[in-house]
Structure 1
Amino acid sequence: MRLMARLAHEVRPAQPTPTLRYLAGEHAERVAHVWAAPHGAYLEMPAQRRHLAHVVLALGAREDARKLATALTGERADVVARRYLGDPPVGFVKALGRIGEAAWDGVDYLRLYELFADEGAASVLMQTPAITVAVVKALDDVPAALRVHAIARHVAGTEAARALGDAWTAIHTVRGPGVADAAVARWVRATGPERLFAMAAQDVAPLRFDPAPFPVHPDMRRLGGTTALEDAGRRFRNCLATYADRAALGTVALYEWAGPPPAALAFARDGFFGWRLEEARGVGNALLGPEEREATILAVRQAGVRVGRSGADIQAALRKLAGLDHDWINPNDPVRNAFGIYEEG
């Protein structure tokens, strides 16, 4: 059951005390509406019950404040949860007693709720003594196949979750589900974070293989020689002709995408994925609009070309997390970069 869309947007006017603002965070005004200053009954609640109150209020419970206060302070936690949350997943209410004293933001409570609805994530969380927002965000970021305690306990933040998730997705895409399953079976034996990321880095190291055939797509035309590059460079009013040496060495392949609008595409060799989109530009190096980018990405992926982080970048991120020597890591969004968009976001 997805609850994110139900977050209450209305905040009823109230006057929380500074103590309440400190303890209840963004929920302070809703709490003050139910328990007026000095908020004694709320402040006397154990942490688990306060967190449950925050979740109920974040979902915009519309009962009379007095009835809400009676239920939230006087009824069993599981009864309150069933009344206001419907059918909460097993373990969620108890977990609220292991998330510390301070209030979480509403979206983080609901992310925790939804993870308990996932069997693998719930198993991890039930084995986690102290659940933090960072733990929840990292668990939410990794693919479902990696939501096992033996792996998740070593993934401490979103950077690590992203790198490991990218590695698993790359292995699954390029080498197949069987190899991805074997990687997970190996990773669960890691004795610590550095060992886990070292294993993953090894698994995304390029294998020795012959150059892949050039990708084909009915709406793409390969620019297969200097003359073709020069002709396309004139039509696109750009520097396509300067790619001739790299194209001759086989490190880049140039294509013309029919569009509309037409675009010049550069595919770079990638040690893990084979080919990766390096650049896509319209006539006069014009940037493609959002819908045009989506259409281009779809066609490029259909041609068997990677759109996104390079294999080398994924491996470098994993080696850094493993405490090993690593190459430069691109801090920017590689998909947006390929389309000439370099600002953050």
Structure 2
Amino acid sequence: MSILPLAGPSATASPLLRLIAPDYADTLATLWPAPHTPFLTAPAARRHLVCLMLAVEPAGPAPLEVSRLLEEPLRKAVHLVLDPAPDGLRRALEHLGEIAWSPADYRVLLALLTEPAAAKRLRHAAAITPDEVRTLDALPPAVRIHGGGPMRMGPAQAVLLAEAHAALSRRLSPAVLTERIAAWARAPDTKALFALVAEDFRLDPPAPPHPGTERLRPLADAAAIRDAARRYRNCLENYIDDALDRRSAIYEWLPEPGAVIELTPDGIFGWRLDQARLRSNKAVDEATREAIVGELRGMGLHVGRSAWQIRNALDRAAAPDFKLEPVDAAIAEYFTGF
């Protein structure tokens, strides 16, 4: 479809025209020379239709007299630009705001209107913005179908959710993934939504490096770590991802007063004691400390200077004033409070 302009060429676009239709101002100034009155005084839906025509540039056998887009009934004018037109396009044009969209955003809108789930979401929207369209476009169709939370986020959040969905689809069955998406849609707000996705994204930690003893048990999954964080009133829950990625292993010392113990992998010694704390991150008393050290060493785990600490000392050892902290003092630091 070619465009049959109403007047001769004009390269003068007024500031107002550039404000409300920045991507199309020069072409519009040719179609409606300054002061561009027919276009500027037309309803926003009509202006959007003209700009959409310029954005999609459909091919057709007959020229279009653009004045018809402002004069014909809107339903008929829509079909002058796109025939067939997506269902809901006429209504959508009336909810796009006052400022013309970019060509890319118009094309995304047209694509979404051909998808039943996305079209339904747009049909019920009181206002349709470019950000909402970009957000819907970024989401996988399976997420769009369930609605709910995704409409409360922006494009960047939608991209992240799509990446998380793609990762989850690699390990969850389609049925389970569908159940989780439905749960996301019921989240009351964006914070709760992403908390649910983060929880679904977590795998259980790998097997602990030692099965534990009667006095020292591993916290072998995310639920156990979370429960211990609640009981010990500390930030242990933040260590779940470290445990998932095998950067740490968490154990609980069962005899009173009870303690949480973190082991970390060491390039020389294997798994070693990194820290231990009582409730509320309080320092471990000396008697409990000695009992924990004996238990860990009996399990074959390293309690002492780490490989990094030894390398660091070696780098400084040639200095005339070199001093080496006693190993017992180094161990004691693992049990002290913050």
TM-score category by the smaller chain? 0.5 to 0.7
1:255-294 residue pairs with structure 2 within 5 A? Answer: none
What amino acid is aligned across from residue 103 of structure 1 in structure 2?
A
- Whether the 8 Å contact between 1:174 and 1:273 is mirrored in structure 2 is no
The alignment yields a C-alpha RMSD, in angstroms, of 3.0
What is the rounded CA distance, in whole Å, between the counterparts of 1:140 and 1:151 in structure 2?
Answer: 15
- State the partner residue of 2:113: 116
- Judged with a 3 Å threshold, the aligned counterparts in structure 2 of structure 1 residues 137 and 48 are, in CA distance, closer, same or farther, namely same
- State the partner residue of 1:150: 148
- Judged with a 3 Å threshold, the aligned counterparts in structure 2 of structure 1 residues 61 and 176 are, in CA distance, closer, same or farther, namely closer
SS of the residue 1:42 aligns to = helix
- State the partner residue of 2:122: 125
What amino acid is aligned across from residue 150 of structure 2 in structure 1?
A
- Whether the 8 Å contact between 2:58 and 2:81 is mirrored in structure 1 is yes
SS of the residue 1:50 aligns to = helix
SS of the residue 1:26 aligns to = coil
- State the partner residue of 2:179: 182
Of 11, 15, 22, the match for 2:19: 22
- Judged with a 3 Å threshold, the aligned counterparts in structure 2 of structure 1 residues 180 and 273 are, in CA distance, closer, same or farther, namely farther
Percentage identity across aligned positions? 32
- Judged with a 3 Å threshold, the aligned counterparts in structure 2 of structure 1 residues 62 and 43 are, in CA distance, closer, same or farther, namely farther
Q: How far has the Cα of 1:272 moved from its partner?
A: 7.2
Q: How far has the Cα of 1:273 moved from its partner?
A: 9.9
Unpaired runs of 5+ residues, structure 1, are: 1-5, 212-268, 275-345
What is the rounded CA distance, in whole Å, between the counterparts of 1:197 and 1:67 in structure 2?
Answer: 48
- Whether the 8 Å contact between 2:86 and 2:114 is mirrored in structure 1 is yes
Unpaired runs of 5+ residues, structure 2, are: 4-8, 209-240, 247-338
What is the TM-score of this pair, normalised by structure 2?
Answer: 0.55
- Judged with a 3 Å threshold, the aligned counterparts in structure 2 of structure 1 residues 72 and 104 are, in CA distance, closer, same or farther, namely same
SS of the residue 1:173 aligns to = coil
Q: How far has the Cα of 1:38 moved from its partner?
A: 1.1
- Whether the 8 Å contact between 2:138 and 2:158 is mirrored in structure 1 is yes
- State the partner residue of 1:306: none
What is the TM-score of this pair, normalised by structure 1?
Answer: 0.54
- State the partner residue of 2:84: 87
- State the partner residue of 1:104: 101
Q: How far has the Cα of 1:209 moved from its partner?
A: 4.9
- Judged with a 3 Å threshold, the aligned counterparts in structure 2 of structure 1 residues 122 and 67 are, in CA distance, closer, same or farther, namely closer
What is the rounded CA distance, in whole Å, between the counterparts of 2:127 and 2:59 in structure 1?
Answer: 32
What amino acid is aligned across from residue 199 of structure 1 in structure 2?
L
1:1-345 residue pairs with structure 2 within 5 A? Answer: 14-60=11-57, 68-147=65-144, 148-155=146-153, 157-209=154-206
What is the rounded CA distance, in whole Å, between the counterparts of 2:19 and 2:129 in structure 1?
Answer: 18
Q: How far has the Cα of 1:80 moved from its partner?
A: 1.7
Q: How far has the Cα of 1:19 moved from its partner?
A: 1.6
Between the two structures, name the one with larger relative contact order (CA 8 Å, sep ≥ 6): 1
Residue deviations 1:276-322 (CA, integer Å, cap 9, x gap): xxxxxxxxxxxxxxxxxxxxxxxxxxxxxxxxxxxxxxxxxxxxxxx
- Whether the 8 Å contact between 2:91 and 2:123 is mirrored in structure 1 is no
Residue deviations 1:224-281 (CA, integer Å, cap 9, x gap): xxxxxxxxxxxxxxxxxxxxxxxxxxxxxxxxxxxxxxxxxxxxx998799xxxxxxx
What is the rounded CA distance, in whole Å, between the counterparts of 1:174 and 1:272 in structure 2?
Answer: 15
Larger radius of gyration between Structure 1 and Structure 2: 2
What is the rounded CA distance, in whole Å, between the counterparts of 2:76 and 2:34 in structure 1?
Answer: 26
